[in-house]
Amino acid sequence: MSVALPTRRFAGIVAKVNAFLLIAFVLVLAFLGLVAYKQGWFVHQSPIHFVTANALGINKGMPVKLHGFTIGSVNDMELAQGGVDVKLLIGSEYLRRIPQDSRAKHARESGVIGASVIDIVPGKAERALAEGAQISFEPARGINEIIDDFRRQAIPAFNEVKAAMSQVGHAGEDVTQILANLRQEVEQLPATHRAIRKLVEEAAQATADVSKQAAVTLDAVDKVSRTVDRTIPEVSEKLVSTLQSIDAAAVQARKTGEEVQLTLRAARPLVEHSEVAAREAGDVLGAAKRVWPLSDSFKETSDGLLPIDSFEAEGKGRSR
């Protein structure tokens, strides 16, 4: 059975389909071309390589940078004598900018957190690096080493601050002891004052008795009595003013002592805060070690093998 198609409607259909297919073909080719261009297939690249004892943190495709500008990428890695042979593909146009004595360095873009890159540190040689040449490699400095450096420098400073504050604390205890003794002495002053007065009264009484008993020496005693009467008030006044001065000094000393105690009280939390801060900094760093994205930076560099220690052969390994 045949179906009759309206001839006018489908006139030129072959040409239209051809045009459609041609456009689709051109678009696909253009897309493929664009992908190839983006992948750098049209850029001529030159290989160079380095050997590292430990390739932890280095991956295929990792960018290679010169002065912070991407000039290539890590192409391949394979185990070799003495470590891992890492091959880099560098845009040929950039190769002439890399002197022969340049070295590669494993670094991060923003300190310890950014993406890992291979950074080419240019040397000073006049001749450029040849295609396929080997360059030296410098592994990344781990956070562990940075923290150890910081700890080595910070701990002596903390210890000195602690020792200084401890000395201040001891000095404060001495001042407190002196003030306590002084206060005790001041408290005994009124009793002393009373005793002196009693002594003066007894002296007056004794003088009266003597005047009664010795008529012959009355004049002399009278003179003595007058002298005593004249001198005692002066002595008494001087004694009172001295006691007042001591009293004022004691009040001032007490005030100073209280101020010293307040200062020490204010300084002690500072020392305690310093210790707490140091401890917390340790905790934060410990926690940071376990948290992405820092965890990659804290990986152990060994191959995870437990120590092979000939001491275990003595049969003491189990008493560990």
Partner 1 sequence: MRWLAAGLMALSAAFTAGCGGGKATANGSNNTSLSQSRLTQAETRAAGFTKSGDYQNAARQYAEALRIATTLENADAIAANAINLSVVSQWLGRDNDARAALDAVLTDSHTAFSERRKIQAELRRAIVELGGGNTGAAAIWAGQAQQRCSATNCEYAAGILNVRAQIELDSGRAAEAAQLAQSAAERSRSSGSRVESANALRTLGRARYAQGQPAAAIEPLKQALEIDREMGDPRKILADLADLSRAAEAAGDAAAARDYKERGLAVSRAMNGGRGAPEAALTR
Nearest CA among 99, 103, 86, 91 for reference residue 129: 99
Q: Which is nearer to partner 1, 33 or 190 (CB)?
A: 33
Q: Residue 192 corresponds to which amino acid?
A: T
Burial of 56 (C-beta count, 10 Å sphere; 0-12/13-18/19+): middle
Least spacing, CB of residue 130 vs partner 1, in Å: 32
Q: Considering only residues 126, 173, 174, 309, which one is a binding residue for partner 1 as defined by CB under 8 A?
A: 309
Should residue 156 be labelled a site residue for partner 1 when binding is judged by CB under 8 A?
no
3-state SS class at 39 = coil
Q: Could you tell me how many helices (H) and strands (E) the chain has, helices first?
A: 4, 7
Should residue 251 be labelled a site residue for partner 1 when binding is judged by CB under 8 A?
no
3-state SS class at 84 = strand
Within 10 Å of residue 283's Cβ, how many Cβ atoms? 10
CA gap 111, 22 in Å, rounded: 52
Within 10 Å of residue 296's Cβ, how many Cβ atoms? 14
Least spacing, CB of residue 56 vs partner 1, in Å: 12
Q: Considering only residues 14, 215, 216, 266, which one is a binding residue for partner 1 as defined by CB under 8 A?
A: 14
Q: Considering only residues 21, 80, 235, 270, which one is a binding residue for partner 1 as defined by CB under 8 A?
A: 21
- Please list, in sequence order, all residues whose beta carbon lies within 8 angstroms of the beta carbon of residue 66, skipping any fewer than 6 positions away: 94, 97, 98, 119, 120, 122
SS (H, E, C) 241-269: HHHHHHHHHHHHHHHHHHHHHHHHHHHHH
Q: Which is nearer to partner 1, 32 or 220 (CB)?
A: 32
x-marked contacts with partner 1 along 275-304 as a string, rule CB under 8 A = ----------------------------xx
User: Chain-centre distance of CA 13, in angstroms?
Assistant: 78
Least spacing, CB of residue 313 vs partner 1, in Å: 4
Q: Quick check: 83 and 53 in contact, CB under 8 A? A: yes
Q: Which is nearer to partner 1, 40 or 269 (CB)?
A: 40
Q: Which of residues 25-84 bind partner 1 (CB under 8 A)?
A: 25, 28-29, 32
CA gap 72, 51 in Å, rounded: 17
The span of 17-25, 58-66, 176-184, 211-219 binding partner 1 (CB under 8 A) equals: 17-25
Least spacing, CB of residue 248 vs partner 1, in Å: 59
Two tokens, residue 26: 């051109």
Q: Quick check: 295 and 289 in contact, CB under 8 A? A: yes
> How many residues interact with partner 1 (rule CB under 8 A)?
28
Least spacing, CB of residue 314 vs partner 1, in Å: 7
Should residue 5 be labelled a site residue for partner 1 when binding is judged by CB under 8 A?
no
Q: Considering only residues 17, 30, 203, 220, which one is a binding residue for partner 1 as defined by CB under 8 A?
A: 17
Q: Considering only residues 11, 22, 34, 171, which one is a binding residue for partner 1 as defined by CB under 8 A?
A: 22
Q: Which is nearer to partner 1, 32 or 262 (CB)?
A: 32
Should residue 3 be labelled a site residue for partner 1 when binding is judged by CB under 8 A?
no
Q: Considering only residues 8, 9, 127, 320, which one is a binding residue for partner 1 as defined by CB under 8 A?
A: 320
Should residue 215 be labelled a site residue for partner 1 when binding is judged by CB under 8 A?
no
Can you give the binding site for partner 1, defined by CB under 8 A?
A: 14, 17-18, 21-22, 24-25, 28-29, 32, 303-320
